[in-house]
């Protein structure tokens, strides 16, 4: 069995780490391709180191660009790799442009595609990630769903039932496997922080880094009842400078460079709460039992809301203010969904092992 896996952005690296280890246990031939979608060290290399993820077999170095330009470059380069490697299966994770490019390039060549995190839906087609999710699921042969709700979404979209496999949340397997290592992080000491005496913020969605929205978010962070540690995504930091918003930030905001995986988990796990527009952080906060305020109107991680651990605030100043106050008052629930455990990669590998990719037409949907 030869699997070609494609990663390109920070969340992909986290999800790929347990899968790579499981594929090695199974004796699969595994080719790891990094598109280069995230090329900053703190967005890429440091994650490979933190997660003990093997260095990529191929690095395409695509870099940044508009969605169309970036995705097109990736498809052209990935097609070359797929023709050279001729894998039995292409495996993609998440919802970034690398995921879409790899899925399209593979299915055009008749190579089956497995999508890890299939079925997540925010039902907001203004989000580039939502477009990627819908398209990748539609053309994938194996759909590995992280939640029961994701299974229902796929069934409601008339996906073949035999293609859908409820395996659980791979992001959580990675988190559970690295919590002890994160305890050795010196990030709190280096930043002179005490457990429970600060909030964390992560902002990177295109909608939230537009000038007026970003200005409002910075004002809300400045009004928080505790200091806010803000590891800034390169896109966000550039937007703050471009729009001249440095003056909006008060001393209440501690803006720092983007962190590696272990440092971020250590920072998040000791926070009083988190304000974010990231899907993965919503899930990590639930498992770490950290109150989460999502600065979006919708979320594809609906289980975190149902569990009582996450509140959708959008950019409503009063909702954020209330949520931060209630975070300090411990008015939250944290119910862990089914299969958010340390056996997700094992379930995925077992399904792949049982598939017979030699059957003619197997890759057809």
How far is residue 239 from each of residues 128, 129, 135, 209, 246, measured CA to CA in Å? 19, 20, 29, 6, 10
Contacts of 101 (CB under 8 A, 6+ apart): 6, 35, 71, 72, 74, 75, 78
Catalytic site residues?
204
Contacts of 304 (CB under 8 A, 6+ apart): 282, 283, 285, 286, 292, 310
For residues 170 and 16, is the Cβ–Cβ distance under 8 A?
Answer: no
Residue 324 burial class via C-beta count within 10 angstroms: exposed 0-12, middle 13-18, buried 19 and up: buried
**Residues 180-191 as b or e (16 or more Cβ within 10 Å = b):** eebeebebbeee
Phi/psi class of residue 206: alpha, beta or left (left: φ > 0; alpha: ψ in -120 to 50)? Answer: alpha
Distance CA 215, CA 218 (A): 5
Phi and psi at residue 251, to the nearest 5°: -65, -10
Distance CA 151, CA 159 (A): 10
3 state DSSP class of 358? coil
Give the bridge partners for 2, in sequence order: 29
Contacts of 364 (CB under 8 A, 6+ apart): none
Give the bridge partners for 255, in sequence order: 230
3 state DSSP class of 335? coil
């Amino acid at each position: 069995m030869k699997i070609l896996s494609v990663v390109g952005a920070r969340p992909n690296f986290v999800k790929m780490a347990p899968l790579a280890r499981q594929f090695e246990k199974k004796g699969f031939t595994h080719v790891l391709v990094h598109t280069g979608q995230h090329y900053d060290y703190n967005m890429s290399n440091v994650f490979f180191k933190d997660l003990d993820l093997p260095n990529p077999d191929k690095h395409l170095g695509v870099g940044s660009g508009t969605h169309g330009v970036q995705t097109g470059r990736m498809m052209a380069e990935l097609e070359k790799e797929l023709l050279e490697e001729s894998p039995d299966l292409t495996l993609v994770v998440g919802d970034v442009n690398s995921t879409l490019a790899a899925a399209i390039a593979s299915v055009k060549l008749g190579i089956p595609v497995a999508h890890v995190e299939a079925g997540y839906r925010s039902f907001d087609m203004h989000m580039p990630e939502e477009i990627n999710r819908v398209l990748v699921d539609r053309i994938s042969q194996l759909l590995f769903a992280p939640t029961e709700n994701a299974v229902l979404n796929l069934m409601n979209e008339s996906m073949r039932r035999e293609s859908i496999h409820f395996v659980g949340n791979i992001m959580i397997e990675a988190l559970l496997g690295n919590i002890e290592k994160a305890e050795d992080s010196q990030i709190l000491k280096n930043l002179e922080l005490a457990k429970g005496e600060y909030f964390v913020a992560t902002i990177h969605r295109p909608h939230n880094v537009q000038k007026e929205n970003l200005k409002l978010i910075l004002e809300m962070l400045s009004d928080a009842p505790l200091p806010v540690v803000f590891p800034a995504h390169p896109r966000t930091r550039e937007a703050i400078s471009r729009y001249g918003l440095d003056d909006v930030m008060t001393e209440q905001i501690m803006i720092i460079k983007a962190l590696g995986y272990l440092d971020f988990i250590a920072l998040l796990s000791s926070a009083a709460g988190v304000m974010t527009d990231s899907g993965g952080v919503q899930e990590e906060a639930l498992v770490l039992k950290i109150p989460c305020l999502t600065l979006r109107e919708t979320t594809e991680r609906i289980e975190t809301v149902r569990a009582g651990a996450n509140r959708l605030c959008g950019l409503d100043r009063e909702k954020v203010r209330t949520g931060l106050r209630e975070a300090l008052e411990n008015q939250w629930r944290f119910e862990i969904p089914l299969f958010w455990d340390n056996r997700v990669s094992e379930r995925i590998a077992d399904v792949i092992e049982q598939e017979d990719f030699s059957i003619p037409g197997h890759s057809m949907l």
